[in-house]
């Protein structure tokens, strides 16, 4: 990183491009702040968004700034095998359209976890809500810190100031404008990040003699389009292993993530929610492919035009290096704004989701019952501000922590607090037998197993008690064990919930199940 900062000077036209972008986002936040008169508007934009806008927002949220820079880096240094998990999204989107969206949109829900209380009871909802909030707070700090690294490299501004300035801008328009600001700024940000990627490819194609065909020839000769070995080996990132991980990852995202579910609920109708999900699925894979192709283009470019500076760079520094050395001032600033846009479209969603869950699932349900809607609206803005403060503070903490500590913490938090939430939803959607007592018993047992797997992952157990398992599989294993235990326990107890009307795929059209 220091090499880039030492060689390049940030240019005034680039500053102008970034300032214009940030000013536009702030103006949108100020505009939408005047339209939020209720929590329904603040959390869901009055459930009036068209499908195309929600779909672009979902696309922007799924493509963080790390995607913008990390995917080209993965393709540059290796090949396209990390694209494989994303290829499964259309499959999961079809399931979401047929199952998840109709079940979530039944009634006037605001939170994904309201479903869990209707299906199992209050403790399941509380567990999932707290897990989500905790994970999102960690995610906010992590993403802001990680995007601050390349922005600091690209601009020459110290990373602490990048964190603070970027965090304040995101906080302002999100806290002020609520869900309307989130959705509509996401639309603009998605267009900007796509344009930034296309412009980058255009400059490579323009510089290389032979253009696209030359890039394909060089990349093919160096196996850059390779999608991984076709054998089934749990210890390696083969094609089939990455495919399985992708199916689980997107199943978790589309069945239980408030960031996604909130968009299902914000659409103007069930039809528009389905249209949004289909649009996101159809555009996401080409978008991810676009960013992998940027990395492939950069590989071909520096193969044809060797640059001694590139040899001393890490893979994730190559794209920023290209932007600042090969793309004209002003245009480079626009691409840097695209990196910011990719981050902001992820962070604003998480801030709003944290406020939504905190108000709806915790304060309104337990701590501050039966208050006025205006009280909850003010509380939502306060909680959004607090979430943003945690985001900025967490990013600064991550800056001072050793890199290994950040990675370790992320794995521990995900393993301990995200393990069973997806399983709760899948059991709820696809079974009619599992009841509250069965899932609670299974949850206690699974948490103990989860704790063992975390200790095992970090080699904190004696050799005699250790097992060999890749950390990639911990979440999948935890959810699978939880669902199996809950179902077996329900069979042993011969339990069956009394009423499951419109809560499972088997009782979607029923008011009271008799199954």
- Torsion (CA) 241, 244, 248, 251 in degrees, nearest 10: 150
Token match 């906080």: residue?
171
Condensed to tens digits (0 to 9), the pLDDT of residues 88-127 reads 999 999 999 999 999 999 878 899 999 999 999 999 999 9
User: Which range, of 3-17, 99-113, 225-239, averages the lowest pLDDT?
Assistant: 3-17
355 pLDDT above the threshold of 60? yes
For 402, other C-beta atoms within 10 Å of its C-beta total: 8
Q: Would you say the C-alpha torsion 284, 287, 289, 292 has a positive or negative sign?
A: negative
Task: Give dist(CA 474, CA 468) in Å, integer.
Answer: 11
Mean pLDDT confidence for 409-419: 61
Mean pLDDT confidence for 172-191: 86
| % of the chain at pLDDT higher than 70 | 92
Q: Report residue 512's pLDDT band, with 50, 70 and 90 as the boundaries.
A: very low
Sequential DSSP letters for 30-47:
HHHHTT--SHHHHHHGGG
Query: Any bridge partners for residue 49, and if so which?
Result: 267
Condensed to tens digits (0 to 9), the pLDDT of residues 484-508 reads 999 999 999 887 777 788 899 998 8
Q: Residue 74's pLDDT is what?
A: 86
Q: Which of 247, 225, 277, 272 is nearest to 56 (CA)?
A: 277
Burial group, residue 473, by CB count within 10 angstroms (0-12, 13-18, 19+): middle
pTM for this prediction: 0.87
Distances (CA, A) of 334 to 193, 329, 482: 9, 9, 47
- Torsion (CA) 90, 257, 79, 295 in degrees, nearest 10: 100
Condensed to tens digits (0 to 9), the pLDDT of residues 358-367 reads 999 999 998 8
| Phi, psi for 445 (deg, rounded to 5) | -65, -45
Condensed to tens digits (0 to 9), the pLDDT of residues 238-271 reads 888 889 888 988 999 999 999 999 999 999 999 9
Return the higher-pLDDT residue of 413 and 456: 456
Task: Give dist(CA 271, CA 264) in Å, integer.
Answer: 10
Q: Residue 189's pLDDT is what?
A: 84
Task: Give dist(CA 380, CA 352) in Å, integer.
Answer: 9
Domains and CATH numbers, the chain: 2-400 (1.20.1730.10), 407-515 (no CATH)
Q: Residue 411's pLDDT is what?
A: 53
Q: Residue 514's pLDDT is what?
A: 38
Q: Residue 6's pLDDT is what?
A: 39
Task: Give dist(CA 81, CA 75) in Å, integer.
Answer: 8
Q: Residue 410's pLDDT is what?
A: 56
Mean pLDDT confidence for 342-365: 89
Task: Give dist(CA 135, CA 340) in Å, integer.
Answer: 22
35 pLDDT above the threshold of 60? yes
Mean pLDDT of the chain: 86
Burial group, residue 293, by CB count within 10 angstroms (0-12, 13-18, 19+): buried
Q: Report residue 511's pLDDT band, with 50, 70 and 90 as the boundaries.
A: low
Q: Report residue 220's pLDDT band, with 50, 70 and 90 as the boundaries.
A: very high
Mean pLDDT confidence for 174-181: 85
**Helix spans in 431-462 (H):** 436-457
């Amino acid at each position: 990183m220091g090499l880039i900062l030492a060689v390049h000077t940030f240019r005034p036209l680039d500053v102008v491009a970034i300032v214009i972008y940030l000013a536009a986002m702030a103006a949108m936040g100020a505009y939408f702040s005047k339209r939020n008169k209720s929590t329904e508007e603040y959390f869901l934009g009055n459930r009036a968004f068209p499908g195309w806008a929600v779909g672009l927002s979902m696309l922007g949220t799924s493509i963080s700034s790390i995607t913008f820079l990390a995917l080209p880096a993965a393709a540059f240094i290796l090949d396209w095998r990390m694209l494989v998990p994303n290829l499964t999204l259309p499959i999961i989107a079809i399931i979401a359209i047929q199952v998840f969206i109709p079940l979530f949109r039944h009634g006037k829900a605001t939170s994904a976890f309201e479903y869990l209380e209707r299906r199992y009871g209050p403790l399941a909802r509380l567990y999932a809500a707290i897990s989500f909030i905790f994970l999102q707070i960690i995610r906010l700090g992590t993403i802001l810190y990680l995007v601050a690294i390349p922005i600091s490299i690209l601009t020459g501004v110290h990373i602490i100031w990048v964190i603070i300035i970027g965090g304040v801008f995101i906080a302002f328009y999100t806290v002020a404008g609520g869900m309307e600001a989130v959705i509509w700024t996401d639309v603009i940000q998605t267009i900007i990040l796509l344009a930034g990627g296309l412009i980058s490819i255009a400059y490579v194609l323009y510089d290389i003699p032979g253009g696209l065909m030359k890039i394909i020839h060089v990349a093919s000769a160096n196996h850059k389009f390779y999608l991984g070995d076709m054998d089934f080996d749990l210890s390696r990132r083969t094609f089939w292993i990455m495919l399985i991980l992708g199916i689980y990852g997107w199943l978790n995202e589309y069945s239980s993530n408030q960031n996604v579910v909130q968009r299902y609920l914000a659409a103007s109708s069930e039809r528009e929610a389905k249209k949004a999900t289909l649009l996101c699925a159809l555009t996401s894979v080409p978008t991810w492919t676009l960013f992998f192709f940027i990395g492939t283009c950069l590989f071909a470019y520096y193969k044809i035009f060797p640059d001694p500076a590139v040899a001393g760079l890490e893979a994730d520094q190559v794209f920023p290096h290209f932007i600042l050395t090969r793309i004209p001032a002003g245009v480079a600033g626009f691409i840097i704004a695209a990196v910011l846009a990719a981050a902001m479209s992820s962070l604003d969603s998480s801030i709003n989701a944290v406020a939504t869950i905190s108000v709806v699932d915790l304060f309104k349900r337990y701590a501050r019952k039966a208050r006025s809607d205006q009280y909850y609206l003010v509380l939502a803005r306060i909680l959004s501000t607090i979430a943003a403060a945690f985001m900025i503070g967490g990013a600064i903490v991550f800056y001072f922590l050793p890199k290994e500590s950040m990675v370790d913490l992320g794995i521990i938090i995900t393993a301990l607090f995200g393990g069973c939430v997806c399983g709760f939803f899948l059991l709820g959607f696809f079974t009619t037998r599992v009841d509250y007592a069965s899932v609670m018993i299974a949850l206690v047992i699974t948490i103990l197993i989860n704790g063992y797997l975390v200790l095992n992952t970090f080699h904190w157990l004696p050799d005699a008690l250790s097992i060999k398992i890749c950390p990639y599989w911990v979440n999948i294993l935890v959810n699978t064990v939880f669902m199996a235990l809950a179902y077996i326990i329900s069979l042993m107890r011969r339990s069956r919930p009394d009423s499951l009307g419109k809560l499972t795929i088997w009782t979607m059209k029923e008011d009271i199940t008799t199954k």
